Amino acid sequence: MARGLFVTGFTVAEVLAIQARAKELLLEGKTLMNWSDSGTSAGKQFTMPIDEVLVECAHALRTLDPLTYGNPPGQASVSFISGHLPK
Confidence of residue 74 (pLDDT cuts 50, 70, 90): low
Count structural domains, the chain: 1
What is the domain range of residue 14? 1-37+45-66
The arithmetic mean of pLDDT across residues 18-43, rounded, is 76
Helices (H), the chain: 12-28, 50-64, 66-69
DSSP state of 45: E
Q: Select the more confidently predicted residue: 85 or 20.
A: 20
In a domain, 11, yes or no: yes
In a domain, 73, yes or no: no
Could you tell me if residue 60 is left (phi over 0), alpha (psi between -120 and 50 degrees) or otherwise beta?
Answer: alpha
